[in-house]
Amino acid sequence: MDPVREIAERVLRWRTSDRHGRTLSVADTDNAASCAIAAAMGERLEQELGVQIKEATKREAEPGNALQNALRDWLEQEIRGRGLEGQFEVACNRRIDRFHDYSHLGRLQQIIDADQTGELSLALSGEYLVAPDVVIGWVSRPWSEIDLDEDRLTAKSARAAFLHASVSCKWTIRSDRAQNVRLEATNLASKRRGRMPHFVFVTCEPLPSRLQSVARGDGALDCTYHVALGALWYALHHARASADSIGAQRDVLRTLIQAGKIRPLTTLAHDLLTFPKSSRSASGY
């Protein structure tokens, strides 16, 4: 399964803007550069990959849902192909308290819900039980349970489901969406009990300046993955728009790629599902 072709054909659509003509459905129709870049991306996808992009209709499925479902299907296929079936599983919108490293949040929410005064809910305001767009669970990770036995500690071997990776999917980026992605990454990092799971962002946003609003930062986010990064880079050299505006956008994307802040979607499965070889088992680091 080619994720770029699959997602492009499932979700991308041609549409016509009254102001800027024919462009892709990811374009911001109030932004001339966005429309020009998106149009050139679509042309490149059709010419280079032979992608069949349909015309938009009034009854289109929500693109965010289609994107996360396509990612789930592809990652499931990659897990099977790598012989990791039974060790890892992929799901959409699974609450994080289903995983060992966040199970305490479920217990906390139960205490809050049982408080009839409502004081705990006010004092501990915030949504604890988030359900990320796509999760990869390490369902059989070796684990040592620590028991208290009078004056000594004992450890027993066990296996538990841990959150291996969380994938946030936003078909395009607006200011509120960028803020939400970064907040979700920070919350996953601060509320975990155990090692930090991978947290990545997948998008098809055509404007590098908007990509930068998510990709920049101090590392709460592993990386941003673009559905059609090659087509975007091509578009920034061939889009029919102001040379100055396109040139500035091209410089932003070059910096993001060189800094390792943005990568092609095709590398996502390798980045999340490749492990150091171990003489003991493929499921341990």
CATH 3.40.50.10010 residue ranges of the chain are 3-94+131-273
Per residue in 156-191, pLDDT (tens digit) is 777 789 999 999 999 999 877 788 898 888 889 989
CATH class of 3-94+131-273: alpha beta
pLDDT for 243 equals: 66
pLDDT at 37 over 90: yes
List, for residues 100-145, the tens digit of each pLDDT value: 999 998 888 888 888 888 888 777 765 667 899 999 999 878 777 7
**pLDDT for the residue numbered 134:** 97
Answer yes or no: is pLDDT of 59 > 80: no
Output the pLDDT for position 147: 81
pTM of the model: 0.89
As a whole number of angstroms, the distance between CA 111 and CA 114 comes to 5
Tell me what pLDDT residue 127 has.
63
pLDDT tens for each residue of 227-241: 999 999 999 999 887
Conformational region of residue 37, where left means phi above 0, alpha means psi within -120 to 50, and beta covers everything else: alpha
